[in-house]
Structure 1
Amino acid sequence: MMRVSTLALVVLTIFVLARGSEIRYDGYKVVRVVPQKYEHLLALKALQGQTGHDKVDFWLAPRQVGVPVDMSMSPEVFQRLYASFNLWGIFPTVIIDDVQKLIDAQKYVTYDVEADFDYSQYHTLSEIEAWMKNITDTYSDKASLFEITKSYEARTINGIKISTSTSPDPRPAFWMEGGIHSREWISPATVIYMTGQMLDNYEALKDFVDSYDWYILPVFNVDGYERTWNGDRMWRKTMSVHGICTGVDPNRNWDFHWNENGASSDPCSDTYAGPSAFSEIEVKEVANKIASIANLKGFIDFHSFYQYWMSPWGYTTELPKDFKDMDEGGKAACDALEAVHGTKFEHGSIANIIYVASGSSADWTYGKQDIKYSYGVELRDRGEYGFLLPADQIIPSGEETLQAVIALAKFITNNP
C-alpha cells in the first residue's frame, strides 16, 4: 500500500509541476502540407491522435484534399516526419522556423500601468480587467460591468454592457465574445479595440452603437488565457482537471449536438468535449447569461485564424433554413471588412468552410436560442503567423472587424 501511495504522490507531483511550469517552444516549426488525395488525409488525421512527445499540434486541421494543413511540431518530430511527408508526396513547407521567437516577440513588451491603455499591444488578464473597470467608470452613462461567474480556478469572468437607451423597453441586443480558445490572442485584442472605439468615438459611431444593447465578453476562457501568459503560450482549453489531463475545449462543450463529429472523448485531446455538455462552469454560465437576455438578435464568437466569417451549422454540412439570410449577412460583413485594408474573408457555413465541429457556441445560440444571426469568425491571418500574430496587426484587425460588425448590424436591422 505504501508503494502505491508513493507512486500516486509522485504522479500527482509531476502533474502539479507540469501545470505550473513554463513550456517553451524553442526550435518548434510550423509546417504546411497540402494533401493531394484521400490517403494523405487519412495519414494526417492519424497524426491527430498522437499524444506525448510525438504530439503534433494542428493549427489548421486536415479538412479536404487540396486544402492546406498547418502543424506545429518539435525539432525531433520534424526530423522524423519530414522524410515521411516527402514519401507520401505531400511536400512540406516550413511556415514558421522557430515558434519561441514569435512568442517572445509577442509577450515581452514593457507596459506602463500608469499610462493610457495601449490598444496596439497584447495585454495580460489583469491589465484587461483594469481596462474594463476604467472604461466603464469613464463612460458610466453608457457602459457597465456585469459579472457572469467564477471560473474553474476562481477568476471572475466579467463582461461589458453598452446601452444608450433611456426607454424602459429593451432594444434589440447583440452579443460579442472573444478568447474562448485562449491562445487566439488577436480575438480578445480585436474585441477590446472595437469596444474602446464604441465608447471613445461614440459621437462618430452613434447610429451604430444606439441601434442595439451590446453585451461584450472580451475574455471568455480566463483561466486558459492566464495560462498562455504564465506557462504555455499555446494552451487552447479550459483548466479543469480530467484524470492526468487538463482542460476541455470550450467550443465543443455546448449543449447542442454535443460530442458528435468533430469533437473528441479523449481528455488529452485539444478538442475534448468534456465529460458532459456544459460540464465547464465558464460555458454553462455564459450560456445562462445569453439565455437571460431578451430580444437578442446577433451573436459573434471571435476566433483566429484563417479569415472566415461562418454561420451554422457546425455539427453537419447540411444547411439550416435561415442559411440564405445568414450567409448574406456574412457577405455584407466580409465586403465591409475588405474595404478597409483589403483583407479578404470567406463566408459560409462552419462545417462546409472549415470542418465539422459539434457542440459549438454558434450552433447552440442558433439552434437552442433562436438567434438567427449567429456566427463564428476566424480573424487574421492566413497562416504566416497563425496564432502568433504580431501586435502591429491588432489595430488593423480591429479597424476592419469593426466595419464588418457595423455592416452586419445594419443588415440584421433591415433583415430581421
Structure 2
Amino acid sequence: MADDFKSTLCVVFVGLSAIIAANRVAARPQRGDFELAAGAICNCSSTGGDDGSFDEGNRARYSDEEIETDSDFTIDKESRGFSLTDLVESMFSAVASGIGSIVTSIIGTEKNFRSRSSRVSYKNHQLIRLYPNSQEHVNDLKELEKSESEDVKFWTEPMYNRTTDVVIGPDLVSDLKAFLRYKGIDFKVLIPDLQKTIAHQNPKMTKEQRDDLVTTNGHSMTWKRYHRYGEIVKYLEYLALRYPNIAEVITLGHSYEGQPIKMIKISTGTNKDGEAKPAIWIDAGIHAREWIGSAVATYIVSQLVEKNSSYAKLLDNTDWMILPVVNPDGYEFSHTGDRLWRKTRSNHADDEDDSRFLQLVNRYTRWLWGKCEGVDPNRNFDYHWGEVEEGGASLDPCHETYAGPRAFSEPETKAMADYILANKQNIRVYLTLHSYSQMWLVPWGYTDTKPSDYSELASVAKKAIGAVTKIHGTDYQVGPSADLLYPTSGASDDWAKGVAGIKYAYTVELRDRGRYGFLLPASQIVPTAREIWAGIKTIARLVICNT
C-alpha cells in the first residue's frame, strides 16, 4: 500500500514540479546534455597504464561497439515570474501539510522511511580512465562534467596531459565510448563492474573471529579490513582505558545525526619545563568514501599507543591529536547505503534562500526521491569559502562539492575547527588524510599563488615522501592542489594555515593512482599505513627540531 501511494504521489509531484519549474529561480546550474554527433567515426584508440601519466607503449584499441541511445528527461528551470505567489503558496502549503500527515500515517516519518531504503548498487558501472591530450579535449570533458548526469561521475578533474577517471552507468557506457571515439579522446576501462570490486574490497569478519580478536588483543581492530565507525570508537576507548597515562579520548561534538565525534590525544605529559609540548594534528575521513584515510589514522594511533616504547623519544618531544573520522554519518552511510557517498548527511532545505512555497516543494520532492543530502566538508571551512568560479566548490545542494549554505554549517567541521583554534598555540603540523592520487599537497588550494614560505613547506614535504618511497618504493608528488589536482576553496588545510596559523599544513592523498581509486583493497591498508607513518615521523622530527 505504501509503495502504491508513494507512486501516486510521485506522479502528483512531477506534475506540480513541472508547473512551478518555469517560475522558479534556478537554484542549480542548467544541465546540458553532451551530444553525440550523428555518424561518429569510432576509430580512436584507448590507452593503458595505471598511473597518472601517459604510457604510449600500452595503448590498446577497442573494437567498435553498438551504440545504444538513451533518452534523458530534463526540466529546464527558467527565471521566477510568480503572478499569484501568495495564493499558490497558501494552496500548496495546505496540500503539502495534508499529504505529509497522510504519508506519515501510512509509512512513518521521513527518517524511518529512509532507514528502510535499499543499498545503492553499482552493478555494471564502469570506471574508465580518459587521456585528454589537448585543451579541446579538456573542454569537451568539462562540458560533459557540467551535464551533471547521474550516470556520469568524475572521480578526478579534467586537466591537460593528465588522466581523468570517470564512473559511467551501464545505460550510458556505449554512448559515452562512442562520444570519446568521436572526439578523439583515448580511454581505458579500469574496472568493468564496480559492484564486483566493492563486494571484494573488504573481507568479512565473523562473530567468532571478532570475539577471538577481543580475547587475544582486547579489541577487534585489525588492519586487514576496514572497520565501521562503532568499532573505531570502541578501539579508541579501549586504548584510553588500557593506557590512561598517554591516551585520552575527547568528544569534540556530535554529528548531524547525533554521533559523537571522537578524537584521541596521545601525550606523555608536559615537557621538562612544565610546558605543553608542540603537537601534530592528524585527521581523516572528511570524505566518507575514502576509507583508507581512517584506516591509516588508526594504524598510527596503534603505533603510538600500543607500541609506545618504540617511540619514546618521539613521544617525549611531541603530542599527537588524531581524529580518525571527521564525518561519521557519511562514513557509516558509505558502509550501509552508498559505498561511494562523499558528503555529510545533513539537510539544509530550510536554510536555502527560497520562499516558504519552494521550501515545501524541496521538502517533499526530497522525501520522494531521497536526493540532495549533505555538504562537502572539505569545502565548508571558513577560509575563502564559497568561491565557486575557480575554487572547485558548488552552491548546488545536489553537487558533490556543495559548500553548504554558509561556512561551518556542518557540526562536524565546526567541532573540529573549534578544537584546533582552542589549541592552535601548540599545534605545529596539520595533516589531513584523503585519497586518492599519491600526492603530498601544499597550500594554497584556492589560488594559483603560492604562500611566501612555500619553498620551506615543499622542502619538508619532499623529505617526507623520500621516507615514504624507501618503504615500498611508492612514488608521491609534491605541490599545490591547484597545480596537481584541482582548485579547492573552503578546504581544511588552507583554513589551518590561513586562519589557525599552523605553518606546516598539508593534505596527503593516499594510494593509489586510480587502479582502484576509492575502492582500494583492504590488503593495501598495512603497506599504505607503514609508508605514510614513515613520512609523518620524518615531518615530526624536522618540524619539532626546528621549533
Q: Give the TM-score of the pair, scaled to structure 1.
A: 0.95
Contact 1:143 1:161 in 2 (8 A): yes
1:31 matched to 2:128: yes
Q: Select which of 418, 421, 426 maps to 1:288.
A: 418
Q: Tell me what 1:276 maps to.
A: 406
Q: CA, structure 1 residues 6+65, in 2 after alignment: closer, same or farther (shift >3 Å)?
A: farther
Q: Tell me what 2:496 maps to.
A: 365
2: distance between equivalents of 1:27 and 1:101?
A: 9
Q: Select which of 255, 263, 266 maps to 2:382.
A: 255
Q: Tell me what 1:206 maps to.
A: 312
Moved more, 306-315 or 114-123: 114-123
User: Can you list the C-alpha shifts for 1:100-121, whole angstroms capped at 9, x where unaligned?
Assistant: 1111112451143321421221
Cα deviation for residue 38 of structure 1 reads 1.5
Q: Write out aligned runs for 1:8-407 (5 A).
A: 17=113, 20-51=117-148, 54-62=150-158, 64-111=159-206, 112-114=209-211, 115=213, 116=217, 117-167=221-271, 168-243=274-349, 244=366, 245-260=372-387, 261-293=391-423, 294-407=425-538
Moved more, 311-320 or 128-137: 128-137
Cα deviation for residue 296 of structure 1 reads 0.9
Contact 1:146 1:159 in 2 (8 A): yes
Cα deviation for residue 8 of structure 1 reads 6.5
Letter in 1 for 2:469: E
Cα deviation for residue 329 of structure 1 reads 1.1
- Which structure features the higher share of strand residues? 1
Moved more, 79-88 or 100-109: 100-109
User: Can you list the C-alpha shifts for 1:202-260, whole angstroms capped at 9, x where unaligned?
Assistant: 12222223221110000110000010111001000000113431010000000000011
User: Can you list the C-alpha shifts for 1:50-94, whole angstroms capped at 9, x where unaligned?
Assistant: 345x442211121x2110000112111212211001111112210
Moved more, 268-277 or 133-142: 133-142
SS class of match (2:469):
helix
2: distance between equivalents of 1:231 and 1:354?
A: 28
SS class of match (1:348):
strand
The aligned length equals: 414
Moved more, 42-51 or 341-350: 42-51
Q: CA, structure 1 residues 23+190, in 2 after alignment: closer, same or farther (shift >3 Å)?
A: same
Contact 1:51 1:268 in 2 (8 A): no
SS class of match (1:95):
strand
2: distance between equivalents of 1:162 and 1:394?
A: 22
1: distance between equivalents of 2:545 and 2:246?
A: 25
Q: CA, structure 1 residues 35+8, in 2 after alignment: closer, same or farther (shift >3 Å)?
A: farther
SS class of match (1:76):
coil
2: distance between equivalents of 1:93 and 1:10?
A: 50
Q: Give the TM-score of the pair, scaled to structure 2.
A: 0.73
User: Can you list the C-alpha shifts for 1:295-321, whole angstroms capped at 9, x where unaligned?
Assistant: 210000000001000110000011001
1: distance between equivalents of 2:348 and 2:546?
A: 44
2: distance between equivalents of 1:370 and 1:336?
A: 26
Q: What is the aligned-residue identity percentage?
A: 39
2: distance between equivalents of 1:159 and 1:385?
A: 29
SS class of match (1:60):
coil
Letter in 2 for 1:24: S
Cα deviation for residue 410 of structure 1 reads 1.2
User: Can you list the C-alpha shifts for 1:280-336, whole angstroms capped at 9, x where unaligned?
Assistant: 111011000000113210000000001000110000011001111110111011000
Cα deviation for residue 352 of structure 1 reads 1.5
Cα deviation for residue 4 of structure 1 reads 4.7
User: Can you list the C-alpha shifts for 1:348-397, whole angstroms capped at 9, x where unaligned?
Assistant: 11211211111000000000111010000000001111100011100001
SS class of match (2:287):
coil
Letter in 2 for 1:276: R
Letter in 2 for 1:363: D
Contact 2:151 2:167 in 1 (8 A): no
SS class of match (1:234):
coil
1: distance between equivalents of 2:103 and 2:298?
A: 40
User: Can you list the C-alpha shifts for 1:113-135, whole angstroms capped at 9, x where unaligned?
Assistant: 32142122110111111111112
Q: CA, structure 1 residues 21+241, in 2 after alignment: closer, same or farther (shift >3 Å)?
A: farther
Letter in 2 for 1:237: K
Q: CA, structure 1 residues 396+77, in 2 after alignment: closer, same or farther (shift >3 Å)?
A: same
Contact 2:373 2:398 in 1 (8 A): yes
Letter in 1 for 2:306: D
Cα deviation for residue 6 of structure 1 reads 6.2
Q: CA, structure 1 residues 9+359, in 2 after alignment: closer, same or farther (shift >3 Å)?
A: farther
1: distance between equivalents of 2:449 and 2:101?
A: 49
SS class of match (2:418):
helix
Q: CA, structure 1 residues 3+323, in 2 after alignment: closer, same or farther (shift >3 Å)?
A: same
Gap regions ≥5 residues in structure 2: 1-90, 350-365, 367-371
Letter in 2 for 1:273: A
Contact 2:318 2:544 in 1 (8 A): no
SS class of match (2:198):
helix
Task: Decide which structure has the larger Cα Rg and report it.
Answer: 2
